[in-house]
Amino acid sequence: MQKLTITQPDDWHLHVRDGALLKTVLPHTVRQFTRAIIMPNLKPPVRSVADAAAYRDRIIAAIPAGKRFEPLMTLYLTDNTDPKEIIAAKASQFVKAVKYYPAGATTNADFGVTDIRKCDRVFEAMQQVDMPLLLHGEVTDQEVDVFDREKVFIEKHLIPLKLRFPNLRMVLEHITTSDAVKFVLAANNVAATITPQHLLFNRNILFKGGIRPHYYCLPILKGEEHRQAVLQAATSGNPKFFLGTDSAPHSRNSKENSCGCAGCYSALHAMELYAEAFESVDALDKLEAFASFHGPDFYKLSRNTEQITMIKTTWRIPDEAPFTESGLVPLRAGEEMTWKMT
């Protein structure tokens, strides 16, 4: 295949930051995607409908002239979230989900939930109004190995949560393990997003020739057997799995230091990365559904009608993109790719 035309996709897990950084990175997403679920982990986080409305206005103001893009907003769940805020969020029509971070799990997660059971009143309200819960599915207990945090979260927290709220729609985000795949397949009202890095790489890439900080993300890359399980899920055609880049922009100097930030930047070339992953298992015919249909169907939104086209050609990923004072290094910077959006 030398040319691939699909319905324009959406990104169901995206970080665009704020201020000057927002204006820098948003055009990369807008070039490929019609809509995106926007993560709320700013400083301070997006905790109310008023916060979400203000952030949404700033995103809309940063959309390049002549381009169409819809930010789909989320609220940041805390121990103190009021169930009334969920009712207001549903009524707003622009807030599409609530995001759960375990306290301290990842970038700007300091305001996250300390005990998931503290939020049961919120989950009850979400179940009643049909507001999806998006989960960063890891425990942060220091005694749990970093490669086991997703598995332990599912066993310790997610299975009990699902039993307490069987009708609550959930998205287990950026899944990385065969354990997550099995849970999603078995559970009703549960879907999952999958990133390009978890399709393309296993944990060996983190140490290839030395420490590779631009491949460091959370949840961390796992072993090859888990990558294969996630790749099989993404390319299976099952509507429970859909595209979510978790593209996370950090400046070069915040990644390349003694305590670097977690996150891979893929917004620049996300669809080309996904195409490469799907082609690796002869599943390009499944890419459109994964990227363009399963997500809107889960969120009960209309599918897009525009199209994008990718062609088979060799090109080189830039070493960096302009970003604050030290540049932004995209995933696989400097390497060649074989698909290119026109």
Q: End-to-end alpha-carbon separation of the chain, Å? A: 15
Beta-carbon contacts of 142 under 8 Å, excluding residues fewer than 6 positions away, are none
Q: Is 11 among the catalytic positions?
A: no
Tell me 328's DSSP state.
B
Taking each helix axis from N to C terminus, what angle separates 270-279 and 224-234, rounded to the nearest 10 degrees?
A: 100
Structural tokens at position 140: 């942060």
> Per the residue annotation, which of 11, 130, 246, 319 is the catalytic one?
246
How many Cα atoms sit within 13 Å of 91 on the Cβ side? 10
Q: Helix, strand, or coil here: 261? A: coil
Beta-carbon contacts of 73 under 8 Å, excluding residues fewer than 6 positions away, are 38, 40, 46, 52, 53, 55, 56, 94, 95, 96
Beta-carbon contacts of 314 under 8 Å, excluding residues fewer than 6 positions away, are 336, 337, 338
CA distance 122 to 317: 43
Structural tokens at position 241: 């799995």
Is the separation of the CB atoms in 162 and 154 below 8 Å? no
Give the active site residues: 246
